[in-house]
Amino acid sequence: MPSKNVIVGSAVGLHARPAALIAQAAVEAGVPVTIAVPGGTPVDAGSAMMIMTLGAKAGAEVVVESEDEAVLAKIADLVEQDLDS
């Protein structure tokens, strides 16, 4: 499955608001998307709760995966943004 390593851009990491925005975009995309910390178990990017279980802080590297390259790029871009500003 295509993947992209990205750095978490939100100052609070992948916590409530950023996780909710990412999950909403993943659900709206309508295709499976996962997020994981390197070497960790991928979680469903369509679930804010699952994203928050990663414990990814600002500046942490995460891996985004999706069969759909456009969706992959969109979700990866969201992870890199500061969604709390």
How confident is the model at residue 1, as a pLDDT? 86
Angle at 8 between CA 43 and CA 81, to 5 degrees: 110
Start-end of H helices in 1-85: 16-29, 48-52, 69-80
Q: For residues 8 and 79, is the Cβ–Cβ distance under 8 A?
A: yes
Q: For residues 45 and 78, is the Cβ–Cβ distance under 8 A?
A: no
pLDDT in tens, 42-69: 999 999 999 999 999 999 999 999 999 9
* CATH number 3.30.1340.10 given to 3-80: yes
How confident is the model at residue 84, as a pLDDT? 84
pLDDT in tens, 11-49: 999 999 999 999 999 999 999 999 999 999 999 999 999
Choose the catalytic residue: 6, 15, 48, 76. Answer: 15
Active site residue 59: no
